[in-house]
């Protein structure tokens, strides 16, 4: 779904990372805090994130994205009714939060430069770096190897 990018995962256990976690944690349910690492997505000016819903197997109920460098446009589109959509202008330094219907019932995407408009306003895309914070899905760890069970 993503083109023109590189990505990595960065731990948030250092001073700056812990400060970031403190800032984004209020967007998450107290019982389902963000993982102590961020997904860093470095999108080229010509890159895009195509419409998708993050895997319910690997990600929990809340996704928060911090945008840096270039502004960009995030589009949400209803899976049930494609006529039902909205766009957000992501300014550098802004944080968006996807939860509830926005997390599960709408796709999200970052528009490619040629489609990058907000209302009538052209939003030229430069290099954009996003830090994406996610929590774990419920029930994760249930299948971690535990002590052997009598039934094998």
- Judged by the rule CB under 5 A, the positions of this chain that interact with Mn ion are 54
Interface pattern 111-140 for ligand OGA (x via CB under 6 A): -------------------x-x--------
Binds ligand OGA (CB under 6 A): choice among 48, 75, 103, 108: 108
Q: Which two tokens stand for residue 150?
A: 């009598």
Question: Which is it for strands 63-69 and 37-52: parallel, antiparallel or unpaired?
Answer: unpaired
- Least Å distance, CB 147 to ligand OGA, is 36
- Write down the least CB distance from residue 41 to Mn ion, Å: 9
- Triad 132, 106, 79: Cα angle to 5°: 145
Asked if residue 110 binds ligand OGA (CB under 6 A), the reply is yes
Does 41 sit near ligand OGA (CB under 6 A)? yes
The DSSP element (H or E) to which 103 belongs, if any, is helix 101-104
**Closest separation in Å from C-beta 65 to ligand OGA:** 4
Compute the least distance from the CB of residue 151 to Mn ion, in Å. 39
CA-wise closest residue to 49 among 94, 103, 113: 113
* 132 binds, options Mn ion, ligand OGA, none, Cβ within 5 to 8 A by partner type: ligand OGA
State how far the Cα of 55 lies from the Cα of 131, in Å rounded to an integer. 18
Residue located via tokens 């802004």: 94
Residue whose CB is less far from Mn ion, 54 or 136: 54
Q: How far apart are CA 71 and CA 60, in angstroms?
A: 26
Query: CB–CB of 105/79 below 8 Å?
Result: yes
Where do contacts with ligand OGA occur on this chain (CB under 6 A)? 41, 49, 54, 65, 108, 110, 130, 132
């Amino acid at each position: 779904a993503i083109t023109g990018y590189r990505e990595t995962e960065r731990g948030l256990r250092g001073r700056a990372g812990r400060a970031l976690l403190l800032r984004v944690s209020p967007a998450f349910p107290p019982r389902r805090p963000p993982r102590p690492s961020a997904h860093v997505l470095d999108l080229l000016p010509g890159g895009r994130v195509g419409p998708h819903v993050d895997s319910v197997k690997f990600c929990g109920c809340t996704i928060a994205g911090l945008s840096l460098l270039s502004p960009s446009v995030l589009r949400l589109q209803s899976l049930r009714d494609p006529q039902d959509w909205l766009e957000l202008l992501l300014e550098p330094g802004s944080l968006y939060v996807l939860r509830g219907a926005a997390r599960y019932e709408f796709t999200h995407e970052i528009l490619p430069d040629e489609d990058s408009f907000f209302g009538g306003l052209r939003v030229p895309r430069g290099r954009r770096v996003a830090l994406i914070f996610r929590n774990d899905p419920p029930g994760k760890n249930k299948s971690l190897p535990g002590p052997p069970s009598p039934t094998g």
